[in-house]
Structure 1
Amino acid sequence: MNNAQIAETFENIAGLLEMKGEKVFTIRAYQRAARTIERLPMELQDMLRDEQDLRTIPGIGKAISEKIAEMVETDSLRYYDNLKTEFPDGILEVMQIPGLGPKTVRRLWQDLGVTDIPGLQATIDDGSLASLPRLGKKTAENIARQIQFQRSQSKRMPIARAQPICDRLIGSLQEQCPSIRRIVPGGSLRRFEETIGDIDLVCTADDPSQVLNALVAMPNVADVIGHGDTKASVYLTDGIQVDLRVVNERHFGALLQYFSGNLQHNILLRDRANALNLSLNEYGITDRETGVIEEFPDEETLYNRLGLQYIPPELRQGVGEVKAALENRIPRLVEVSDIRGDLHDHSDWSDGRDPMEAMVLAVKERGLEYLAMTDHSVGRGIANGLSVERLERHMALVRQLECDIGGIRLLCGTEMDIRADGSLDYDDDVLERLDWVIGSIHSGMGQDVATMTERVIKAMRNPHVDVIGHLSTRLVGERQPVEADYEAIFRAAAETGTALEINASPERLDLRDSHAARARELGVPLAISTDAHTIEALNNTRFGVGVARRAWCEPHHILNTLPFGSFLEYLRLPKSKRTEAFARLARE
Structure 2
Amino acid sequence: MPTHNPDIAQALDDVADLLELQNANPFRVRAYRNASRVIRGLGTEVSVMLQRGDDLAELPGIGDDLAEKIATLAKSGHLPLLDRLRKDIPAVATELLKLPGLGPKRVRVLCEELDLHNVEQLHRALLDGRVRALPSFGAASETKLLHAVEARSKAPARLKLALAEGYVEPLLDWLRGAAGIDQLIVAGSYRRCRETVGDIDILATAPKGEPVVARFTAYEEVGRVMAAGSTRATVALKSGLQVDLRVVLPESYGAALHYFTGSKAHNIAIRRIGQKRGLKINEYGVFRGQKRIAGRTEKEVYGAVDLPYIEPELRENRGEIEAAAAGTLPHLIELADLRGDLHAHTNATDGHETLAEMAEAARALGLEYLAITDHSRHLAMTHGLDPRRLMRQGEAIDRINAEKSGITLLKGIEVDILEDGALDLPDEVLGHLDFVTGAVHSQFGLSRAKQTERILRALEHPHFTVLAHPTGRLIEEREPYDVDMPRIIRAAKERGCFLELNAHPDRLDLTDIHCRLAKEEGVLLSIGTDSHRAQDLANLRFGVAQARRGWLEKNDVLNTRSLKALRPLLARTMR
* Structure 1 CA distance for aligned equivalents of residues 32 and 553 of structure 2: 40
Which deviations, in whole Å up to 9, do the C-alpha atoms of 1:138-181 show, x marking residues without a partner?
A: 5554444333332332123232322322223223433x448543
Superposed, 1:503-542 pairs within 5 Å as: 503-542=502-541
Q: TM-score, normalised by structure 2?
A: 0.91
Provide the residue aligned with 2:265 in structure 1: 264
* Structure 2 CA distance for aligned equivalents of residues 110 and 413 of structure 1: 46
Alpha carbons 1:253, 1:299 under 8 Å: kept:
yes
Count matched residues: 572
Alignment of 1:159 onto 2:161: yes
1:129 shift after superposition:
5.1
Provide the residue aligned with 2:375 in structure 1: 376
Superposed, 1:423-442 pairs within 5 Å as: 423-442=422-441
Q: Give 5+ residue unaligned stretches, structure 1.
A: 577-588
SS of 2:82's partner is helix
- Return closer, same or farther for 1:400/1:123 CA change in 2, 3 Å cut-off: farther
Provide the residue aligned with 2:239 in structure 1: 238
1:88 shift after superposition:
5.0
Provide the residue aligned with 2:274 in structure 1: 273
Provide the residue aligned with 2:394 in structure 1: 395
Provide the residue aligned with 2:10 in structure 1: 8
SS of 1:463's partner is coil
- Return closer, same or farther for 1:46/1:364 CA change in 2, 3 Å cut-off: closer
Provide the residue aligned with 2:365 in structure 1: 366
Provide the residue aligned with 1:76 in structure 2: 78
Residue range with higher mean Cα deviation, 118-127 or 239-248:
118-127
Alpha carbons 1:131, 1:137 under 8 Å: kept:
no
Q: Give 5+ residue unaligned stretches, structure 2.
A: none
- Return closer, same or farther for 1:512/1:131 CA change in 2, 3 Å cut-off: same
Which deviations, in whole Å up to 9, do the C-alpha atoms of 1:350-375 show, x marking residues without a partner?
A: 22233332222121111111111111
Residue range with higher mean Cα deviation, 443-452 or 419-428:
419-428
1:114 shift after superposition:
7.8
Alpha carbons 1:159, 1:195 under 8 Å: kept:
yes
Alpha carbons 1:411, 1:436 under 8 Å: kept:
yes
* Structure 1 CA distance for aligned equivalents of residues 54 and 206 of structure 2: 31
Provide the residue aligned with 2:93 in structure 1: 91
1:516 shift after superposition:
1.2
Alpha carbons 1:334, 1:554 under 8 Å: kept:
yes
1:343 shift after superposition:
0.6
Alpha carbons 1:138, 1:446 under 8 Å: kept:
no
* Structure 2 CA distance for aligned equivalents of residues 466 and 560 of structure 1: 13
SS of 1:376's partner is coil
- Return closer, same or farther for 1:117/1:243 CA change in 2, 3 Å cut-off: closer
SS of 2:341's partner is strand
1:247 shift after superposition:
2.7
SS of 1:573's partner is helix
- Return closer, same or farther for 1:23/1:345 CA change in 2, 3 Å cut-off: farther
Identical counterparts, % of pairs:
38
SS of 1:483's partner is coil
* Structure 2 CA distance for aligned equivalents of residues 405 and 397 of structure 1: 14
1:182 shift after superposition:
2.8
Provide the residue aligned with 1:586 in structure 2: none
SS of 2:377's partner is coil
Provide the residue aligned with 1:145 in structure 2: 147
* Structure 1 CA distance for aligned equivalents of residues 497 and 181 of structure 2: 48
* Structure 1 CA distance for aligned equivalents of residues 454 and 183 of structure 2: 50
* Structure 2 CA distance for aligned equivalents of residues 117 and 283 of structure 1: 45
Superposed, 1:128-277 pairs within 5 Å as: 132=135, 138-174=140-176, 176-177=177-178, 180-205=181-206, 208-277=209-278
* Structure 2 CA distance for aligned equivalents of residues 431 and 112 of structure 1: 50
1:219 shift after superposition:
1.8
Which deviations, in whole Å up to 9, do the C-alpha atoms of 1:535-556 show, x marking residues without a partner?
A: 3322222222222212211111
Provide the residue aligned with 1:332 in structure 2: 331
1:8 shift after superposition:
1.6
Provide the residue aligned with 1:386 in structure 2: 385
Residue range with higher mean Cα deviation, 116-125 or 219-228:
116-125
Alignment of 1:494 onto 2:487: no
**Alignment-mate amino acid for residue 567 of structure 1:** L
Provide the residue aligned with 1:584 in structure 2: none
Superposed, 1:271-420 pairs within 5 Å as: 271-288=272-289, 291-404=290-403, 406-420=405-419
- Return closer, same or farther for 1:86/1:349 CA change in 2, 3 Å cut-off: farther
* Structure 2 CA distance for aligned equivalents of residues 167 and 151 of structure 1: 30
Residue range with higher mean Cα deviation, 197-206 or 71-80:
71-80
Superposed, 1:454-465 pairs within 5 Å as: 454-465=453-464
1:20 shift after superposition:
5.5
Root-mean-square deviation over aligned CA pairs: 2.9
**Alignment-mate amino acid for residue 272 of structure 1:** I
* Structure 2 CA distance for aligned equivalents of residues 222 and 438 of structure 1: 46
- Return closer, same or farther for 1:74/1:554 CA change in 2, 3 Å cut-off: closer
- Return closer, same or farther for 1:305/1:112 CA change in 2, 3 Å cut-off: closer
